[in-house]
């Protein structure tokens, strides 16, 4: 069985050495001192290692089963979900008015990582519920909030997002699901939704479906889409559960991975629902869920890479094969461990330097969300809105890539299901697709976010890098290994932005043909910035005589690797972008 | 169900426009005129589309089952195997002395591609047999050849390769399987072998296992390894089948993909075997199989990408989603097809330009093998020996990458097994691992092949590029789009080679840390060379007034894409290589 241990020290490093959370002027952050966050992460790590990780392969092997209209989750999932619920893990950043603990979002994200690493499919039941909670919390009436939120905070009732239909995913304007008003404030919802994660299961008393549908007579396309709350079981006036609603599971999809999560075809047959938010403003309400979900999916990307990495390291130390080219390192054994080989090191360093950079990037994003929500900081809001597609797209692409790389360390055993490495890759694969396929993230970044508010957020980002480099100009320890590569990468990114401005006007395809490369480029620059800051923070800790010297030295060496070996990718992306649309769009459709 | 149509025109283009096979002075090539190869490829395509492709998902879903010691293959496999056998497809390039058709190797490779695209797992039964055939053909005694080959040529008896043991794969010197001489020229083979593809099944009368084992008292490590022929069922003097040998299937492995192939744990319990080739020279005999197998695995890489690409193109034309940013292209429909979007084009062009370049590269490799074997051309032999790890490593990495990219075109449906795109990715994944994991290929390339015969083969490769560029210097149509990018990429590759020479002496890790990047770099340069040649060939055909103008124009446009969008990767690989071992090897094993 694969191993998993929560990287508590690394998470603490991001919260305290890098972000210095307890010194930030955000409500609730004053409580996030080292001891408190350490205790929370330790507990989160325990439940992840002891309860969730052992169920990961069980979930993959058994999958979810639809029997007589009821979905049965894998052995042990229900008991584990009870434990998660009872531990209060579903309520961390929820509103205390509805039973939540009111902790900052960053704390819930930091505590979430271990459970996503340990069992991504399991964690989704809670993750989807949190998204639905947020949408109701922001857009619901007081009555709706009173009715649904307390039970959703505890996951006694779980939630879902219903967007996709068989013929439309990205282009939701084409949707056919209808919501016919009953005249009493309720609607009859009819239609079919597909790919509904956690669509049905046996771990909660009720399931609150948030369903996008069109009210007949409304505007065409995406402007006529509204969002509805459709409970699986109707709720009586006194809050008790009533009759079954017209919601049923058509089937459970057979997927490449995340078998432990029930991905359902949901049939709505005159199901009773109520409007959430305003008529025809469903996309706005849904986007509350989607932005949060996208940050969470980015976390899935690196969290799966982290779990895969830990196992790759274990195997690389355990498996004896070949001899170090520079002389035997285990002369008394029949061979040296794999980890002596430079190409195995390359894989492990790629993974390690990515995961640690990605964690910092995601936590910084969560920090910006807290700053935006709690302090009403428009700049933080603009910045995180710019970063969201990068966090989602770049971190899930790379997360999958490094889960695949971990298989490679195992050689043939990486392909055998028993060892668990295939599952990390298969599970991680979905994160590149759902919550907006990564190509859509790239389109969002280049087609919308770059120019948002007159391009002010991307300018602020460049300014932030420039300032950091300038401020640390005299820091010789940082200069060659961190500041110079960051400067070069940032220059590449700016040149790409310039290319888009100069050529995208003439023909928008010149920009869109480079959107994916730009997303990756920006991901590298963001991780480069994170590493430069982490390098500085680690050096500072060493200068201050930190007791755990090896930890900080490792951090610096890992950062150096990222800057030397990963950041040069920006030049390649720029070269591709600079060729514009000509070769990309050269063929007619029938020439393929 | 996924579609598949053999790309007959593209294969013909490589054979005739690019390689001009029928004009080459190699025995048997004179028969390879356009009509003949076209007829063969058309028939191969038919059996692939009509018989093998429909069984691909069946094989994936049913898998192979071990029942009472007997392996049952998926429904339909046996009948299909009979059809393949009866069509003579297993005998194409085999020796006519043993019932083969004696066609050049390149012809068998060209005809192989469709069946590998259509059903990779199925094709492996035949592929392994061919490898075993080759080893016996080269190293067997006359008696052995007479005894085994005629039945193996027809696949009445299939073959296997038994190398890996639970504790060793790459490092075969550690192997424990023993071969104790019986004194009568036979040996008792005992031990356990794992990951044995086509290890057992119900489609052949007998299975001829080639097994690596150690004769007690022989040299330690890899120098004491011998190769044995161990039939599943013993063969009587008169050639009829006798008693069961001491060979049994321990279990069938549960794998990520290629479920249609039975990957077995094989137990040898005093099984009777005979030596193939010389005592303690087993690796030499086995390498005959492995080099051929590596070219075949490279073909698997691009053949899976081809199948995935065809489906991605189909879906991109079929699925309506969103509108072209430059104005609706399907104004009467509810939305435009996916193929209008630049980022979808990017994926399709990446796939198309890779697959066509990879096909040319692999066929060129097969051409060199024919030249080496039939003409005894040492230069061709040296060149293909240099190229083999690149064909295997680069083409399987990229093949998997583009199978994954095809899933992405399908969005959520790419993750659902029913659509078949997940299978292409899962099946393609193994090709990066078996027949020497790709890291081992990179090590072979940089640690052995570059310096082989005093570096003469890599110098010849650089010279070949230089000559091509010089010869076509006046060709303005070719210059900017093909020659200049090729020149730049080749310069990067030479610079990397120079870095290895200058720094690898001091510390071999400086070279080995960049081995994987070098393998990819060289792959790009090889495909760049192929594309420059194909671009020239297509222009020539157009100048000569070829009737199929659109085909040749498409070829040129696809090549331009590769040169503009893919070749710039060489600069990134060079930048990584130039950082040497410092950051790669910086950490102690316990710092991970």
**Cα distance between residue B158 and residue B198, in whole Å:** 8
Residue-wise pLDDT for A251-308, tens only, equals: 999 999 999 999 999 999 999 999 999 999 999 888 877 777 899 999 999 999 999 9
Query: Do residue A120 and residue A162 come from a single domain?
Result: no
Contacts of B407 in chain A (CB under 8 A): 429, 433
Inter-residue contact A523 to A394 (CB < 8 Å):
yes
* Closest CA relative to residue A105, chosen from A328, A364, A482: A364
Which of B168, B439, B558 lies closest to A343 in CB terms?
B439
- Tell me: do B162 and B127 sit in the same domain: no
Closest Cα in chain B, distance from residue A151 (Å): 30
C-alpha atoms less than 13 angstroms from C-alpha of A323 in its C-beta half-sphere: 13
CA distance B335 to chain A (A): 8
Residues A455 and A585 in one domain: yes
Q: Which of B321, B383, B309 is nearest to B352 (CA)?
A: B309
Please state whether the predicted TM-score (pTM) of the whole model is above 0.95: yes
Which residue segment(s) compose the domain that A30 sits in?
8-139
Cβ within 8 Å, pair A335-B171: yes
Whether residues A134 and A222 share a domain: the answer is: no
* B23 included as an active-site residue: no
A298, two tokens: 């980015």
Residues present in chain B in total: 592
CB-closest option in B343, B416, B430 to A253:
B416
Minimal-distance CA residue of chain B relative to A418: B254
Residue B180 pairs with which residues in a beta bridge?
Answer: B188
> How distant is the Cα of B415 from the closest Cα of chain A, in angstroms?
6
Q: What are the helix (H) ranges across A335-377?
A: 342-375
Ordered mean pLDDT values, 10 residues apiece, chain A (592 residues): 97 98 98 98 98 98 95 98 97 97 97 98 97 95 98 98 93 94 97 98 98 96 96 96 98 98 98 97 83 92 98 98 95 96 98 98 97 96 96 98 98 98 98 97 96 96 98 96 98 98 94 98 98 98 97 98 98 98 97 96
Q: What is the pLDDT of residue B8?
A: 98
Q: How far is Cα A15 from Cα A113, in angstroms, rounded to an integer?
A: 13
- Residue B207 lies inside a defined structural domain of this protein: yes
Q: Report the number of distinct structural domains present in chain B.
A: 3
pLDDT at A353: 98
Domain termination residue (choose one: A224, A258, A280): A280
Q: Are B304 and B399 in contact (CB under 8 A)?
A: yes
- At residue A162, the pLDDT reads 96
Residues A363-403 have pLDDT tens digits of 999 999 999 999 999 999 999 999 999 999 999 999 999 99
Residues B237, B114 share a domain? no
> Among partner residues A256, A335, A516, which is closest to B174 by beta-carbon distance?
A335
Report the chain B residue with the minimal C-alpha distance to residue A559: B583
Residue B355 lies in a domain: no
Of A257, A280, A303, which residue sits at a domain end? A280
Place of tokens 């099944």: B201
**CATH code assigned at B176:** 2.40.110.20
The alpha-carbon gap from A49 to the nearest alpha carbon of chain B, in Å, equals 19
Kindly write down the DSSP assignment for every residue of A456-498, as one continuous string.
Answer: HHHHHHHHHHHHHHHHTTT-HHHIIIIIHHHHHHHHHHHHHHH
Nearest neighbour of A343 by CB, restricted to B253, B512, B569: B512
Asked, for residue A334, whether it belongs to a domain, the answer is: no
Segments of chain B with pLDDT less than 50: none
Cross-chain Cβ contact B513/A345 below 8 Å: yes
Domain assignment of residue B409, yes or no? no
Q: Is the domain of A162 the same as that of A135?
A: no
Examine residue B330 and state whether it is found in any structural domain, yes or no: no
Q: Kindly provide the b/e burial profile for residues A35-65, where b requires at least 16 CB atoms within 10 angstroms of the residue's own CB.
A: eebbebbebbbebbbebbbbbbbbbbebbbe
Answer whether A409's CB lies under 8 Å from A305's CB. no
- Of the candidates B319, B537, B559, B305, the one whose C-alpha atom is nearest the C-alpha of residue A587 is B559
Residue B524 maps to a domain: yes
Q: List CB contacts (< 8 A) between B167 and chain A.
A: 320
If you count residue pairs, one on A and one on B, with CB atoms under 8 Å apart, how many are there?
258
Question: A455 and A591, same structural domain?
Answer: yes
Q: What is the dihedral of CA B150, B154, B155, B157, to 10 degrees?
A: -30
DSSP-derived 3-state class of residue B1: coil
The DSSP code for B266 is E
Contact criterion met (CB < 8 Å) for A586 and B418: no
Which position among B113, B272, B306, B435 bears the catalytic label? B435
Q: Which of B472, B462, B463 is nearest to B534 (CA)?
A: B472
Nearest CA-CA distance, residue A176 and chain B, Å = 12
> Which of A255, A325, A508 lies nearest to residue B512, judging by beta carbons?
A325
What pLDDT, on a 0 to 100 scale, did the predictor assign at position B487?
98
Q: Which residues contact B567 (CB under 8 A, 6 or more apart)?
A: B485, B486, B488, B489, B524, B525, B528
Please report the pLDDT score of residue A293 as a whole number: 87
Look at chain A and count its residues.
Answer: 592
A-chain residues near B345 (CB < 8 A) = 513, 584-585, 587
Structural domain contains residue A56: yes
Q: For B440-449, write each residue's pLDDT tens digit.
A: 999 999 999 9
- Separation between Cα atoms, residue A32 and residue B591, nearest integer Å: 28
HEC readout, A550-579: HHHHHHHHHHHHHHHHHCCHHHHHHHHHCC
Any idea of the CA torsion for A585, A591, B1, B2, to the nearest 10 degrees?
-70
What is the pLDDT at residue A538?
98
Best mutation target, A300, A409, A415, A431, to test chain B (most B CBs within 10 A): A415
Contact flag B349-A584 (C-beta cutoff 8 Å): yes
Give residue A492's pLDDT. Answer: 98
CA distance B122 to chain A (A): 18
Provide the pLDDT for residue A15. Answer: 98
Q: Which of B343, B513, B553 sits opposite A515 (nearest CB)?
A: B343
User: Are A125 and A174 in the same domain?
Assistant: no
Cα-Cα-Cα-Cα dihedral sign, residues A580, A581, A586, A590: positive
Exposure on the CB side of residue B166, measured as CA atoms within 13 A: 8
Does one domain contain both B195 and B129?
no
Between the alpha carbon of residue A537 and those of residues A533, A561, B405, the distances in Å are 6, 16, 38
Residue B275 lies inside a defined structural domain of this protein: yes
The residue annotated as part of the active site, out of A165, A292, A356, A435, is: A435
Query: Using a CB-CB distance cutoff of 8 angstroms, which residues of chain B are in contact with residue A439?
Result: 341, 343-344, 347, 408
A469 and A590 co-located in one domain: yes
Structure tokens at A589: 């459709």
Looking at the fold, whether B74 and B101 belong to one and the same domain comes out as yes
d(CA B469, CA B532): 9
Q: What is the pLDDT of residue A184?
A: 97
Residues A87 and A219 in one domain: no
Q: What pLDDT is stored for residue A285 in this prediction?
A: 83
List the single residue in B with minimal CA-CA distance to A411: B433
Q: How far is CA A118 from the centre of its chain?
A: 15
Among the candidates A139, A168, A203, a domain finishes at A139
């Amino acid at each position: 069985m694969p191993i998993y241990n929560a990287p508590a020290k690394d998470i603490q490093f991001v919260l305290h050495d890098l972000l210095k959370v307890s010194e930030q002027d955000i409500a609730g952050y004053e409580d996030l001192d080292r001891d408190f966050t350490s205790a929370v992460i330790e507990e989160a790590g325990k439940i992840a290692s002891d309860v969730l990780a052992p169920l990961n392969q069980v979930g993959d092997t058994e999958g979810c089963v639809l029997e007589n209209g009821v979905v049965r989750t894998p052995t042990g999932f229900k008991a584990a979900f009870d434990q998660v619920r009872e531990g209060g893990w579903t309520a961390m950043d929820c509103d205390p008015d509805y039973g939540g603990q009111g902790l900052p979002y960053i704390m819930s994200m930091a505590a979430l990582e271990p459970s996503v690493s340990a069992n991504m499919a399991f964690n989704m039941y809670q993750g989807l519920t949190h998204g639905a909670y947020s949408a109701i919390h922001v857009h619901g009436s007081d009555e709706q909030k009173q009715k649904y939120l307390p039970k959703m905070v505890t996951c006694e009732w779980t939630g879902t997002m219903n967007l996709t239909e068989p013929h439309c995913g990205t282009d939701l304007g084409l949707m056919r699901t209808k919501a016919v008003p009953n005249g009493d404030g309720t609607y009859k919802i009819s239609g079919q939704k597909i790919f509904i994660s956690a669509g049905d299961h046996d771990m909660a008393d009720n399931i609150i479906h948030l369903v996008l549908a069109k009210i007949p007579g409304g505007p065409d396309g995406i402007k006529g889409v509204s969002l509805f709350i459709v409970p699986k079981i109707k709720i009586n006036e006194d809050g008790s559960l009533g009759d079954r609603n017209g919601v049923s599971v058509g089937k459970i999809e057979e997927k490449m991975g995340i078998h432990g999560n029930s991905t359902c075809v949901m049939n709505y047959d005159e199901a009773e629902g109520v409007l959430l938010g305003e008529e025809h403003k469903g996309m706005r309400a849904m986007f509350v869920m989607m932005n949060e979900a996208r940050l969470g999916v980015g976390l899935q990307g690196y969290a799966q890479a982290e779990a895969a990495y830990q196992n790759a390291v274990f195997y690389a130390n355990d498996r004896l094969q070949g001899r170090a080219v520079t002389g035997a390192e285990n002369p008394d054994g029949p061979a040296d461990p794999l980890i002596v080989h430079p190409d195995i090191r390359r894989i492990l360093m790629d993974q390690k330097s990515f995961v640690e950079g990605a964690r910092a990037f995601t936590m910084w994003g969560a920090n910006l969300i807290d700053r935006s929500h709690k302090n009403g900081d428009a700049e933080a809001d603009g910045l995180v809105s710019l970063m969201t597609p990068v966090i989602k797209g770049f971190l899930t692409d790379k997360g999958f890539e490094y889960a695949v790389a971990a298989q490679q360390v195992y050689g043939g055993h990486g392909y055998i299901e028993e060892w668990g490495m295939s599952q990390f890759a298969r599970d991680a694969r979905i994160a590149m697709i759902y919550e907006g396929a990564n190509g859509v993230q790239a389109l969002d970044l280049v087609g919308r976010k770059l120019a948002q508010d007159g391009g002010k957020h991307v300018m602020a980002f460049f300014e932030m890098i420039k300032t950091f480099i300038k401020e640390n100009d005299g820091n010789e320890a940082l200069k060659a290994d961190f500041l110079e590569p960051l400067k070069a990468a940032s220059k590449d990114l700016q040149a790409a932005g310039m290319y888009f401005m100069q050529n995208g006007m003439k023909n928008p395809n010149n920009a869109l043909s480079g959107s994916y490369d730009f997303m990756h480029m920006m991901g590298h620059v963001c991780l480069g910035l994170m590493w430069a800051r982490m390098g500085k923070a680690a050096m500072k800790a060493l200068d201050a005589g930190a007791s755990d010297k090896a930890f900080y030295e490792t951090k610096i060496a890992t950062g150096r690797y990222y800057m030397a070996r990963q950041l040069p990718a920006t030049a390649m992306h720029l070269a591709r972008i600079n060729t514009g649309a000509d070769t990309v769009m050269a063929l007619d459709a029938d020439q393929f």
